[in-house]
Amino acid sequence: MDSKEIKKLNETYHKEDKVQKRIITFKNYTYRTLVDVLDGYIKQGDKILDLGCGVGTLDFYLASKGNSVTGIDQSKIAINIAARNSKALGVDKNTTYFQKNIFKFNTKEKFNDVLLFEVIEHLPNDTKAFVMARKLLKRNGLLFISTRSSSAPLSRIGLTKKHDERVGHLRRYTLEELGKMIISLGFAVTYKSKTEGFFKELLFSYPKFGSSVVRIANRFALVSDVLNFVDNIFLRLFGESQLVIVARKK
């Protein structure tokens, strides 16, 4: 898959995105795993670079905590929504957005944190993204990664194939191979986790079935808590669908 095909997929994926009415909380069902990790590491006042930011949902959360966030995405639709939402939500003074291929983003600025959430599985050259992130980080800066697990229960039985093709997933990873890659490029892994059971991946892999459930869970904390509890049971029984790593630049 070349860069033009990836860009086209990216625009198609974001075509259904809408204006965000509120900043997410730590109990948001879609992002609660990532928010929990970010809350454990991000310091107030950090300068954060979000590579592949999409519509900026996590950026607004981080900006509302007093951080300065720069978001990069090649999707014109996503960046337009992110810029519009940041203003509507009152965090535009703490957010800056650029519509660019992440590899064409040039700056002399250095960041405390770089986010690569659900991005590397879309890239023909994932190593290049890690090298770029390291270059843009300050000394002892943190790289945050989340991606799809090759051990995911639904993936093992072939039920994510159509979803992976639809959203442009080029590969999946094991935690071990991802950790080794990061270490070989000059990072020290400070946190790693296997997260999300097959129930949650089922909801996102089959949006016609799962979108209304996810929407309700994102709106109501109690529903989010219940679904998260159920998903954690499936996680322990059948294994993970998502991998999360935090790595420090040496």
Cα separation, 192 vs 205, in Å, equals: 24
- Residue closest to 193 by CA, chosen among 25, 29, 53, 34: 34
Task: Specify the pLDDT at position 160.
Answer: 87
SS3 48: strand
SS3 38: helix
Task: Specify the pLDDT at position 4.
Answer: 52
Domain that holds residue 219: 3-249
Number of domains, the chain: 1
Q: Measure Cα distances from 88 to 16, 35, 78, 95, 226 in Å.
A: 19, 21, 15, 12, 30
* Residue 170: CA count within 13 A, CB half-sphere: 14
Q: Measure Cα distances from 41 to 19, 62, 228 in Å.
A: 28, 12, 22
Q: What is the pTM of this model?
A: 0.91
- 28's CB contacts (< 8 A; 6+ apart) are 35, 218, 224
**Could you state, in chain order, the average pLDDT of each consecutive group of 10 residues for the chain (250 residues)?**
50 57 95 97 97 97 98 95 95 97 94 98 96 97 97 91 90 96 97 95 90 95 96 96 97
Cα separation, 99 vs 75, in Å, equals: 6
Task: Specify the pLDDT at position 21.
Answer: 87
What residue has token string 């900026």? 56
Q: Measure Cα distances from 143 to 53, 58, 124 in Å.
A: 14, 15, 20
DSSP label of 123: -
Task: Specify the pLDDT at position 2.
Answer: 46
Task: Specify the pLDDT at position 8.
Answer: 52
Contact 107, 78 (CB under 8 A): no
Reading the block at residue 112, the tokens are 């405390």
Amino acid letter for position 129: A
Reading the block at residue 202, the tokens are 């089922």
Return the bridge partners of 246, or none. 144, 191
CATH number at residue 122: 3.40.50.150
Q: Measure Cα distances from 33 to 47, 200, 218 in Å.
A: 21, 12, 13
